[in-house]
Structure 1
Amino acid sequence: MIPALSDLVPFVLVVLFAVYFHTVTGFGLAMIIMGLASATGMVSVATLASIVSIVTLMNSGVALRGRLHHVPWKAVNPMLIAVFPASVLGVVALDYLSSEAADVIQVLLGLVIAYGGLSLAWQPRPLSLISGSGSFACFGFLGGLVGGMFGIPGPPMIFQLYRQPLTLAQIRTALIFLNAAIAGARTLFVAIQGQLHMQELVLSAICLPLVALATLAGKHYPPPFSPQAMRRIAFILLVLMGLTLIAPVVLQWM
């Protein structure tokens, strides 16, 4: 069922904002769409997840065009290798954990992410030397594990990349590329399973032309913030991501 126009317009506006923000920072698309759009109850979370994956692929295709030379492959390749098996492990681990154990892990994870963002938000200086391949693989694995268990693969990879002595262009393209790889794998898996329905396809088709425009706007008209300010924004959003993991569990316990 396709939502009414009165529901569709706010949804499209949320997608446009999320895509623009994602283009200028390299992350945030899934968090914003899932957070704002799911609160309206317009479509199911599963439908939103499929739309996010398709929109991410469109955004990434436009955002990365002519900019793949910015991707720091030394950092991205180890993360890419680690993130896929870790995602599967995360899904399997969650299936075997009791609901109570999963809740405790989710709260602990949220606290770690929030602390990492808070501790660096006011001192967003990058490291003096770029980390080794093992470090990138470790954070890629954590990102995949978090994504598999809780559907938020970004925080560990955001934390790792934004503290590196890399340019903002390198950080953005690395995160966009990693998100595209994960979204592509998820979309392919869902399609093979026969779970990609007409509602997802129609809503995605409605959004895609506007996604291209929002992506081009982000590429050519980014906000006038300094690199230090952008790093600070990234770490503050890590705090918010951590809180979004903690809050549902705490409310459930109350």
Structure 2
Amino acid sequence: MTLEVLLSFLVISAIAGYFQTVTGFGLGMIVMGATSGLHIAPVASVAAVVSLMMLANSAVALPGKLKHLDMRIIVATILGVVPAIMIGVLLLDVLSGSAANMLRIALGLLVCYGGLSLVLRPRQRETLSSRISFFTSGVLSGLCGGLFGIAGPPVIFQCYRQPLPPVAIRNMLILIFAATSGIRTLFVALKGDLNLEILMLTAWAIPMVTLATYLGRRWPPQMSTLAMRRLAFATLMLIGGGLIAF
């Protein structure tokens, strides 16, 4: 990996880490989409790095932010994530070698769906969804997380339907993504797939993500929620559309 490519990866990681902190999501979609579009590293390698980066982001973003979270629905979601993560990782092993183009297009569609979910969010419910509903969203998110290290869109859509304050939703998402990333990383490590390239990329990226996360907590952007959603939508649609087209 050349210095230019490494620096590009670090810049993308820093931007994604800041975005994740101020919105509760986006790190995986931005890093996976941008690095795949620029052909910086194989999808499987970047997915493993993203999982480790998510853990670093969560370690900085979560302390002191877990008050008043409903752990029952979080546990229900994670129970759906666990088996689906393993299936997704095994499916990635098959597709990364035999269907790389299809995998890239699927990633592009997932990133676009993540962007669309920001502007096509359903009307907020008056009561919390059932734990079965959260479990189902966990299964879908786990499959996405296993394939790409991006557990976001299904669980984001689910959480933003709930009658909860934005700060609670944001912290709930970060906690679920942390659990998802930890499970994925453990499974990949047990398979013996945490190679030197992944560890080196992670070693470079984590300080950048940690710094960006601190900056996001300390100096969030002075933007309205609507403006932030529009910016996120434009960014994710651009990345996802590029992956599908090229």
Secondary structure in structure 2 of the residue aligned to 1:31 = helix
Aligned equivalent of 1:22? 20
Instruction: Please state if 1:201 is matched with 2:199.
Output: yes
Alpha-carbon displacement from aligned partner over 1:63-89 (angstroms, at most 9, x marks no partner): 111212253323312111111123334
1:136/1:229 CA distance change after superposition, 3 Å:
farther
* Aligned Cα root-mean-square deviation (Å): 3.6
Q: Contact 2:57–2:209 (CA<8 Å) still a contact in 1?
A: yes
Deviates more, 1:5-14 or 1:66-75: 66-75
Q: What is the total number of aligned residue pairs between the two structures?
A: 239
After TM superposition, the score normalised by the length of structure 2 is: 0.79
Instruction: Please state if 1:240 is matched with 2:199.
Output: no
Q: Contact 1:117–1:238 (CA<8 Å) still a contact in 2?
A: no
Q: Distance in 1 between matches of 2:77 and 2:124?
A: 19
After TM superposition, the score normalised by the length of structure 1 is: 0.77
Q: Contact 2:146–2:184 (CA<8 Å) still a contact in 1?
A: no
Shift of 1:14: 0.4
Q: Distance in 2 between matches of 1:12 and 1:239?
A: 18
Gaps of 5+ in 1: none
- Partner letter of residue 212 of structure 2? A
Secondary structure in structure 2 of the residue aligned to 1:30 = helix
Secondary structure in structure 2 of the residue aligned to 1:166 = coil
Q: Distance in 1 between matches of 2:91 and 2:49?
A: 25
Of 52, 71, 77, 1:79 maps to 77
Q: Distance in 1 between matches of 2:117 and 2:200?
A: 37
Of 53, 56, 59, 1:55 maps to 53
Shift of 1:213: 1.1
Q: Distance in 2 between matches of 1:238 and 1:166?
A: 26
1:228/1:49 CA distance change after superposition, 3 Å:
same
* Identity in percent: 42
Q: Distance in 1 between matches of 2:175 and 2:228?
A: 19
Alpha-carbon displacement from aligned partner over 1:69-116 (angstroms, at most 9, x marks no partner): 2533233121111111233345667869xx8xx99xx69x86x94797
Shift of 1:247: 6.6
Q: Distance in 2 between matches of 1:226 and 1:125?
A: 19
Aligned equivalent of 1:181? 179
Shift of 1:32: 0.6
Secondary structure in structure 1 of the residue aligned to 2:10 = helix
Shift of 1:237: 7.0
Q: Contact 1:162–1:231 (CA<8 Å) still a contact in 2?
A: no
Q: Distance in 1 between matches of 2:38 and 2:156?
A: 27
Q: Distance in 2 between matches of 1:184 and 1:115?
A: 25
Alpha-carbon displacement from aligned partner over 1:152-200 (angstroms, at most 9, x marks no partner): 4211100011121212221111111111111111211222222212222
Shift of 1:240: 3.4
Aligned equivalent of 1:4? 2
Shift of 1:130: 2.1
1:184/1:92 CA distance change after superposition, 3 Å:
closer
Deviates more, 1:186-195 or 1:171-180: 186-195
Shift of 1:62: 0.6
Alpha-carbon displacement from aligned partner over 1:190-219 (angstroms, at most 9, x marks no partner): 222222122222221122222211101111
